[in-house]
Amino acid sequence: MPSLGLSPHSIGSSAFSLPLVAGIFGRQAATGAGSVFEFQHRLNRCQREGLDPSLCNTVVPLPDGQAYDNTCNSNLVTFWGQNSYGATHPNSPNDYQKNIGFYCDYDSINVIPVAFMDSFFGPGGLPTINLANICGGNVFPGTGLAQCQFLAADIKKCQAKGKIVTLSLGGASATSFFSTQAQAVQLADNVWNLFLGGNSATRPFGDAVLDGVDLDIEHAAPDFSPFVNRLRSYFSGAGKKYYVTAAPQCVFPDPSMSATLANSYLDAIYVQFYNNWCGLQNFNDLAAWNFGVWDYWARNVAPNKGVKIYIGAPASDTAAGSGYVNVATLGNIIQQTRTSFPSFGGVMLWDASQAYSTSSCFWYASMCLSISTCSFFVCREQQVRLKCESLAQGWRILWGKVIRMDSLYSAYMVRFWLISWRNQGNVSSKGHLFHLYNHHFF
C-alpha cells in the first residue's frame, strides 16, 4: 500500500481515527484508564442524540478470556502499529496512535495484527520491526531489532480479553524478503523464537507470545509456503492455537502472493478491497467487485477449504487512495456479502488510529457484524433483557429477546430494528440507519 496515508498497510499511513476505533470496537471495558474516557464519549453522544442519559450506563461487561473463534462470520480485524492517523494529520498529536492495550479495551475487536515486520534479514541476521510512534529508539546490540518489551503487558491484556494478536510481515515499505528455501526456513525459525512460542534473548515483546503471523506482501516476492510449512511444524507441537493469515490485494490472483496463496494452508484472508479497480467503490459493478471469485477459490481451490475471506476496508476517507465508502454503504455491503458467500469471515479495517478518530466505521461495522451465528451480541454469562416497549410507544414488542449490551448504541440498534420492522423493512424517517455515519455508529 502506498505511504503517506494513502494505503491502509503503509508504514506510517493514515487510515483510522481514534473515536472511530471506539465505535467499531463497541463496548469499552468497565475498568481501566480508558473506561473513563469511553463513558464520557458515550455520554456526549447520548446527549447529542437526545436519548435518555440513563442509556449511557447500559453497559454489561463480558467476562475476559472469551476465545476468538475463526469459524465465525462476525469477526472484526484492525491493524495496529503504523499511526496512520498521525501520518495524514501531523498537526493533531493528541490523536496519534496509542499503545495497543488502549484499543483492546474495546470489546468489538477480535484480531489485531501488529504492523509491520518490515525487513526480514537486517543487521545481525535478525528481522526489524517498525511501529511508527510507539517503539523503535532502542535496539538489541548488533541488530536493528527494536526493544519493545514494555508492550508485553498490553499484548497479554489483549489476549486475556479473548483477542488474538499476530505479527504482520511486509507492508508497502518492506525492504527485504528471502531468496532461497533455506532462508524461508531460517526466517520461520527466527519468527518462532523471537515472537511466538520459541526462546531467544532478543525477544522484542519480552515474554508475550503472539498468536500467529499475517502476510501482507505487496511487492514481487517468492512463494512463502516453505515459511508457512516450517511455522506449522512448530504449531503442531505447541500447547496453544496459532494462526496464519494473509492480506492480498483484491485483484485475483494477486501477483505478489499468487504462489503463496496457492500453496499455503491459511486460516483467513483479509482481502484489500481498496487502491484497486476491484475495490469497495465499485461494489455495484459486477465486472469489478470480485468477492465471489475469492469465495469460490476459498471453498474449491485453496489448500484450506475452510479458509475465511474478509472484506478489507479503509476506515476513513484518508486511509486509502480509493475504496473508501461511508459506513451506511459499508453496512449494506457487509450484509449482502455475508448472506451471499459462505466463506465470509468478517471485516478488516486499516488502521486502529484512523478508526478511533473517525468513530463511525467501528460502530457501524460492529452493528452489521453482530447479526450472525457467532455474534458478539449473543447471550453469554451476563445478559440483559430489554422491554422494548419502554423505548417508544407503538413499536413492536420484543419482550424476552436476550442480547448483550455492548454500549448505549446496542439499545439504539434495537430502536432501529423495531422501526425497520414497523415499516416492513424500510428505514424510518430518521433515515440512513439513524444517521449512523454522522453519529459514528459502526
Catalytic positions, written as ranges? 218
Separation between Cα atoms, residue 383 and residue 401, nearest integer Å: 10
Listing DSSP states for 229-282 in one string gives: HHHHHHHTT-SS--EEEE--BSSSS-TTTHHHHHH---SEEEEE-SSSTTSGGG
Residues 378-415: b if buried by 16+ CB within 10 A, e if exposed: eeeeeeeebebeebeeebeebeeeebbbbbbbbbbbbb
Amino acid at 421: W
- Compute φ and ψ for 128, nearest 5 degrees: -125, 155
**Which triple of cell numbers denotes residue 175?**
525492504
Cis peptide before 351 (omega within 30 of 0): yes
Q: Residue 266: how many CB atoms within 10 A of its CB?
A: 22
C-alpha neighbours within 13 Å on the C-beta side of residue 121: 14
- Helical spans, DSSP H, in 315-431: 327-340, 352-358, 360-370, 408-422
Contact indicator for 318, 15 with CB cutoff of 8 Å: yes
Separation between Cα atoms, residue 22 and residue 441, nearest integer Å: 10
Q: What are the C-alpha distances in Å from 308 to residues 165, 183, 302, 343?
A: 17, 29, 11, 5
**Which triple of cell numbers denotes residue 309?**
475471506
**Which triple of cell numbers denotes residue 352?**
486502529
Separation between Cα atoms, residue 36 and residue 46, nearest integer Å: 15
Separation between Cα atoms, residue 417 and residue 428, nearest integer Å: 10
Backbone angle region of 397, left / alpha / beta, with phi > 0 → left and psi within -120 to 50 → alpha: beta
Closest CA to 106 of 381, 372, 376, 308: 376
What is the DSSP pairing of strand 384-385 with strand 402-403? antiparallel
